Structure 1
Amino acid sequence: MRISEVAKAAGVSLPTIHYYTREGLLFPSLKTAHNMAYYSPDCVEDIRLIKEFQSKRFLPLSVIKLILQAKRDGQDVKHVSEMESVLGDIFQPMPDETQSESISLAELISVSGLSETDVNELIAMGVIIASETENGPVFDGIETRIAQIAKRLLTFGLKPADFEIYQQYMEIVRSEFKTIHEIIHHLPNHEVIPLRELFKLASDFKGCLATRIYRQEARHLQEHS
């Protein structure tokens, strides 16, 4: 199919297809010239999936690329479905994460109530993360929610510097994710592991450990009060 035929069949613009191709989500099956290429009819279905993953599961293109690559690699259909489900859960907006569009620094300051100094200090720590665009830094729903919670904590007397402890927490969580991924990826039966169940069990496991620690520390405080 010519690119114009793919665009018409999928209901998207030519720049969209060019963008997906540059990002490695679509691949021309035959390139006849510098500015002429033919695409497999499968690309129409891939585009449909990309749009669905974006609108219904809120997945970024980098994550959608992983799913499409797994399909193209011929991975087990059930395993790919598990990937879609787990990644959909991870990127599903949290109950209080109502913002769908990214906002500017000025808007983040306005909706969170934080000062620009506080925001910049939290950004420097990595507690709040900005996405760089040609129009400057922007912040998605999860960053806005973190900023709002941080503001509430600051009203109790905490200072931005007190959030440094969460830098260690984030590194532990990041290390956990990478370690678990590596372990699973190298298991001989990794393509048939129920990822959704594994993800839930890991979350429950961490929750139990955290609750146990808080209980232990609460008893410790009582014993020494």
Structure 2
Amino acid sequence: MKISELSRRSGVSIPAIKYYLRDGLLPPGHATAANQASYSEDHLHRLRLIRTLIGVRRLPVSSVREILGAITEEGDLHQIFGIVIDARPAALKQKQEQDAQAAEQETTGVTDVRRLISEMGWDVATHTAAIQTLGDVLDALSELKADIDWQTLLPYAELADRTSELDVEQMHGTSDLLEQAERAVLVSVLLEPALLALRRLAQEDKSARLFSHTAEKGNGD
């Protein structure tokens, strides 16, 4: 396909595509004339992935380049998914630095998250970013004297476990590395706002069922 079609199908402007080509994020197309080239489906998948990592995940170009390189080298769907959802860093050095930092700064909340993980029987890496995120939340809840701890979150963890099965099922059906990475981004990044919106809709429904009738009854009395 020509660069104009690549732009149309990917939703990325031609100037941006040319920038990614110059910067090495996007490999050169097949030269068809002095100033023209054709591009493949691989270019399309890679470009969509770049757009999402930069535009949605807000990652710097240097990080995107590292992730794309790691995806190409890994060839392992589990590792690709981990890189994309930030469950593991793309570089081994970064992983080692994160492990050392986590060991030094582990809070009560993080310790409680590890208890939750153990209770659920989940197989996750020690440096997974979500551990620190959830640990920070538990620490904040504790400081606010809220009656919510890691055990309170277990029913939510069970729901998340079932949701994750649906997420991972979306990853099947392709063997192409870049397409797998693109689907990982769709599942892990772009679906999150949809899942939050569904939760809000369900909350509104349950609130109406539980509380609106109570209010009407009170008004009637």
State the TM-score bracket (shorter-chain normalisation): 0.3 to 0.5
**TM-score between the two structures when normalised by the length of structure 1:** 0.43
Higher relative contact order (CA 8 A, sep 6+): 2
| Higher share in helix | 2
